[in-house]
Chain A
């Protein structure tokens, strides 16, 4: 399956502006503050996009679900709408939307071109200012209709929050099926809302911990297919797989460097401890970064590539450490009560997400990169493995509730107040969020 790029899809995107002399007075532009602790979600009316078939409503439905899941928007029940949009090119009756407290309004239309392509257009309105905030149209094949809906969602989110969106993204994860003691664990990929799931491995051997390359074209993961568990690289477009490096023993816990040129991972030593190595994908040169008599694992680069966060039990219980990317200046940053693991550096660079075990619970939390300001966002019987949305505002992780037959994916925002289950075909674990593509 071809991996379509946003740039390709957007080639035909044109800004649609409402030119019929809108004379709204200048007014503070509608904005959602994503930093507020207790965000009142913004009431937004998302009308069914006009179309000859159900496609318009399908697209606006995807937009509505995305915005609602973000926790920053409260789509208004369609039954409350007063005006029925019949001409999306004309200004709506703003009074009709203000009276139901719709601060923002989304209208649109979906038509089919003669060549079979779908043409989707939307407009975003500030009802209280009485002006259009955004408008674009997109042309896409039928297969890319959901992507168009995600791109529209991103545009609305960006216009109203001032932050990058994250809806036109994918998740690689481990699909889990079968009995718990003989579970099949397959590489899989899906859209961030759980749609379009497909398998990337056949399930004959266990695959674990997939992670995207910055280009979204490659995945590094760990697999038991060679008998010995080792780190592999998968080209998404071609399906080509290769072993990463020529290490004598087990390799695991891989991640890409931010420039995509290196893979960092753990290598098992003969004495049973594990240290962190980095492999240059071009030169194949390997560099050892840690050498403690301990389990050093779960390395993750800072977004500028200058530092690496990892875990080690060199001091007893497993804690979070940071080092320079050449291995120098290794220092512990977590000092809380309990065991810390799976640190992941935020794409914004400001925070490190982690799993913490304390008091018989597993928690998902964040701390600043010096270890201060620890905040727990989610607690449960068993949950782990946070991954960042590319805008650094939302985390996804996996949870196995006590007595549950298998794990499921969840997302939680940085306030910890908006936790959402993410649908998946079967049980799912080890989510990794793709970057956005510019």
Chain B
């Protein structure tokens, strides 16, 4: 033992600071490796040990993990984009141009946009995998429902973000998308039954008081809409999504970990 010279890494691993952070030491033995997972709040999403099929990419396709990873990537790039972007009709479009031309490393918006498209795809593929392996069956039925809600939230996140560049593509995609809301039964001013909600001659549900107005903050896609979608995109929907993600991940463990044949 003593004849082997200690490397700088050994000194580091034995230092008080290192040991205070990573209690289990360098994971060399089986026991230490289990402790490495159990003692780490992030790795503790996983159990310490898994059935052999559960680590095969051929079984899991890694899509759930990639979806979460993309959520993290989008959060980080999104925060960076927020430093430069102002959600007003006057500035939004030029800020987007500046993001590409006046800011070093001008691919931040690209990473954000392509990452968002990829996240829609990875959640879809994750759902396809879970369906194909029948993993939604009891006891995981509730977690499937949570997953469906998460997928819907992913689409909503992507949709609210679509407006922010404030170009022709954005405004018309959102106009077409949000116009469906005016046809909501009873709640939209062009929905069936809306004209029945009236006191005498006064309609309760009109273009200034229906569900579409609440979404857009106006009768058409404009300044107020941009601000509303910005807030929904940056704060509201991610907040809700994070709550559901916490439930989703926690339930995977509580429902018996990853599915597998008995």
Pair from one complex: no
